[in-house]
Amino acid sequence: MKLKNTLGIAIGTLVAATSFGALAQGQGAVEVELFGKKEQYDSARDYKNNGNLFGASIGYFLTDDVELRLGYDEVHNVRSDDGRNIKGADTALDALYHFNNPGDMIRPYVSAGFSDQSIGQNGSGGRDRSTFANIGGGAKFYFTDNFYARAGVEAQYNIDKGDTEWAPSVGIGVNFGGGSKKVEEAPAPAPAPVACTDSDNDGVCDNVDKCPNTPANVTVDADGCPAVAEVVRVELDVKFDFNKAVVKPASQGDIKNLADFMKQYPATTTTVEGHTDSVGPDAYNQKLSERRANAVRDVLVNQYGVQGNRVKSVGYGETRPVADNATDAGRAVNRRVEAEVEAQQAK
């Protein structure tokens, strides 16, 4: 069949041209699926049994939620009342709207579109062709960013004859070609210290060419630059249960120590950093790390009274492990929120 061959060539071309390493499910992603259906034929067809339909589809995400899908399947194991085998094929074009967010493990969907069916008895000399309007729904379960399983049900209304048929369906698929994963940029190196002089020994930096940011009447060291204060630091490391973003009571004391330090040094600020282990899709882990960071920030601000403008939160997903994600113990260490505050005090 020309249509079948064309669909096969299109799928093969896209698979060959697209990298599996790219994050899927978002706008621009491609999904290729193998599926099976159990077609429940209308009684007007006088078939002895319902059909097994096997086929493939290819879809393209126009947006993060809307996918346009082209599918093809062939009819098997159907017989007419006189015992003849029924053969045929269906070609469908459907639009799918997905719920939840790209990267979530489960994405329910609804679908609507049209299909063309060519079906008939072997040796009858011709096939019956009909146009159907399709509606359906189901859910996709993403094992990883690139592999998923699907289960759903579809109803088909025969526009030409007024019959209605329906079919439960299952499928397995692969997706690729969406927005690439962000590459974390290395922080810019800190500027090297610059020395200046105090030629008149008045305790004020007077060589502004070497220390242009040193204001007047600021005490300097022997080199004529501002004296270096002693740095004091407090660190926070809060652990979380698997797939949870709830701060455990055992961590309250450590968070309070951080809050007390920030109250002692009111000019300080901090960034609360959330992390996860490697279990689950990257995009889901990114959101989980953000929820963990926000949970610790809420305790600092709402429970211990640190001003909100002094505490930022950020999530790094699974990108910054500090232990081996191949072990339970390592994954437990990686499920964490970290924070650090530095302050300067005179020596």
Instruction: With a cut of 80, say whether residue 180 has pLDDT above it.
Output: no
**Residues of the chain above pLDDT 90, percent:** 48
Coil, helix or strand at residue 139: strand
Instruction: With a cut of 50, say whether residue 220 has pLDDT above it.
Output: yes
Predicted TM-score (pTM) of this structure: 0.51
Instruction: With a cut of 50, say whether residue 85 has pLDDT above it.
Output: yes
Neighbours of 277 (CB within 10 A): 22
Higher pLDDT, 119 or 226: 119
Q: How far is CA 43 from CA 47, 48, 80, 164, 225, in A?
A: 7, 9, 12, 10, 93
DSSP result, 217-238 = T-BB-TTSSBPPPEEEEEEEEE
Long-range contacts (CB closer than 8 Å, 24 or more residues apart) made by 120-127: 120/86, 120/87, 120/88, 121/80, 121/84, 121/85, 121/86, 121/87, 122/84, 122/85, 122/86, 122/87, 123/84, 124/84, 127/88
Instruction: With a cut of 90, say whether residue 75 has pLDDT above it.
Output: no
pLDDT digits (tens, 9 = 90+) for 257-305: 999 988 988 888 999 999 999 998 999 999 999 999 999 999 999 999 9
pLDDT tier, 139 (very low <50, low <70, confident <90, very high otherwise)? very high
Cα–Cα distance measured from residue 15 to residue 178, given in angstroms and rounded to the nearest whole number: 13
**What average pLDDT score do residues 310-316 get?**
94
Amino acid 51: pLDDT = 80
Positive or negative: CA dihedral 24, 29, 32, 36: positive
Instruction: With a cut of 50, say whether residue 190 has pLDDT above it.
Output: no
CATH assignment of 230-345, among 1.20.1440.230, 3.30.1330.60, 3.40.50.2000, 3.30.300.30: 3.30.1330.60
Amino acid 226: pLDDT = 61
pLDDT tier, 212 (very low <50, low <70, confident <90, very high otherwise)? low
2-176: CATH number = 2.40.160.20
Domain positions in the chain are 2-176, 193-227, 230-345
